[in-house]
């Protein structure tokens, strides 16, 4: 069997650790290296709390990609580092699966162009959880009948970006099927700035950050006399791993950039 050679960036992070376990426990994946901020020259197994994998850790992505020659980079870091890593991976002809959120529209356009130019796959997935993808798809379906909608995304308080990648993606999907609309009273005024949340094509997005949470989202729809609530909850980070596995396998067979798992899961 030809194994997919993978490098994970952000191996000590909450998602990174789960991804290391996924790589270790998946027969057709071979973890050939990791990119960390520290621990240069160590093996993954030398670092406390990480699984027993013999692969080396690098702090420099260029050295890592040159020496390990992976098929795929899985990036689970921060918005600034993730965009740098993804561009670098594509420039080396290495496919990328990006779970890191907080990329701008300009980043996505640039990465799309790079992937096309190189003719290699790149998957940017704001949410790897299957239930979250269904929540987004169901919300898009509901928006055909309910044109008034507000999104409330709730995450742990270590999250760097707001609104969440999932919240933005949900608003994008909904805006594809409804006419742009200003919601609420035409003359409404925010007494405290930010009270009505962020706005995307007239859709209001509210971000909650609290300790104890992992990743949750409610999409609230209203029309005369009725309302509909679509909610998804991730209670642990293992919930994202079947999506990561699917992306690593899929990215090997595509030759352009895909933004969002809803384009992969029918
Ligand atoms: N797509 C999804 O389903 C999904 C799910 C959960 C989290 N996320 C996103 O994944 C990212 C990581 O989330 P997390 O909760 O694991 O965060 P985290 O803070 O626990 O982990 C991030 C890791 O990146 C590392 N890092 C920072 N700079 C680095 C560098 N230069 N080189 C290598 N590593 C570096 C940090 O040391 C840290 O260990 C975030 O952007 C988050 O929004 C996406
Ligand atoms: O923990 C996070 O950070 C998450 N971010 C994703 C987002 O921004 O949508 C979703 C899953 C968890």
Delineate the domains of the chain, giving CATH numbers in brackets: 4-124+238-263 (3.40.50.720), 130-235 (3.30.360.10)
Q: Is the ipTM of this complex over 0.85?
A: yes
Put simply, whether the predicted model's pTM sits higher than 0.95 gets the answer yes
Q: Catalytic: which of 118, 155, 169, 232?
A: 155
Residue with the smallest CA separation from ligand 1 atom 20 is 13
CB distance 214 to 174 below 8 Å: no
Ligand 1 pocket residue status of 231, Cβ below 6 Å: no
Nearest CA to 97 out of 254, 209, 265 is that of 254
Ligand 1 pocket residue status of 78, Cβ below 6 Å: yes
Q: Can you tell me the distance from the alpha carbon of 148 to that of 181, in angstroms, rounded to the nearest whole number?
A: 8
126 is an annotated ligand-binding site residue: yes
Q: Which atom of ligand 2 is nearest to the CA of 127?
A: 10
Tokens for 187, please give them.
């003359």
14 is an annotated ligand-binding site residue: yes
Ligand that lies nearest to the alpha carbon of residue 124, given by its number in the listed order? 1
In a structure prediction context, what are the per-residue pLDDT tens digits for the chain, which is 266 residues long?
Answer: 799 999 999 999 999 999 999 999 999 999 999 999 999 999 999 999 999 999 999 999 999 999 999 999 999 999 999 999 999 999 999 999 999 999 999 999 999 999 999 999 999 999 999 999 999 999 999 999 999 999 999 999 999 999 999 999 999 999 999 988 899 999 999 999 999 999 999 999 999 999 999 999 999 999 999 999 999 999 999 999 999 999 999 999 999 999 999 999 98
């Amino acid at each position: 069997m030809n194994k997919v050679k993978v490098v994970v960036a952000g191996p000590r992070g909450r998602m990174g650790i789960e991804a290391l376990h996924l790589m270790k426990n998946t027969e057709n994946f071979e973890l050939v290296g990791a990119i960390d901020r520290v621990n240069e020259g160590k093996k993954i197994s030398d670092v406390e709390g990480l699984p027993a994998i013999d692969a080396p850790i690098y702090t420099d992505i260029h050295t890592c990609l040159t020496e390990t020659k992976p098929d795929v980079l899985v990036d689970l870091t921060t918005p600034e580092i993730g965009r740098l890593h993804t561009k670098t991976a594509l420039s080396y002809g290495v496919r990328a699966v990006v779970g890191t959120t907080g990329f701008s529209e300009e980043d996505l356009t640039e990465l799309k162009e790079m992937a096309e130019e190189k003719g290699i796959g790149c998957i940017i997935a704001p949410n790897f959880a299957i239930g979250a993808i269904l929540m987004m798809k169901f919300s898009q379906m509901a928006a055909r009948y309910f044109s008034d909608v507000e999104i409330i995304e709730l995450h742990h308080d270590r999250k760097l970006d707001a609104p969440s990648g999932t919240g933005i993606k949900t608003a994008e999907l909904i805006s594809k099927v409804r006419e742009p609309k200003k919601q609420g009273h035409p003359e409404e005024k925010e007494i405290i700035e930010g009270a009505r949340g962020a706005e995307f094509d007239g859709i209001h997005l509210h971000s909650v950050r609290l300790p104890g949470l992992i990743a949750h989202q409610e999409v609230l729809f209203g029309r005369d006399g009725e309302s509909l609530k679509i909610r998804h909850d991730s209670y642990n980070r293992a919930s994202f791993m079947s999506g990561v596995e699917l992306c690593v396998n899929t990215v090997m067979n595509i030759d352009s950039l895909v933004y969002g798992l809803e384009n992969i899961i029918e």
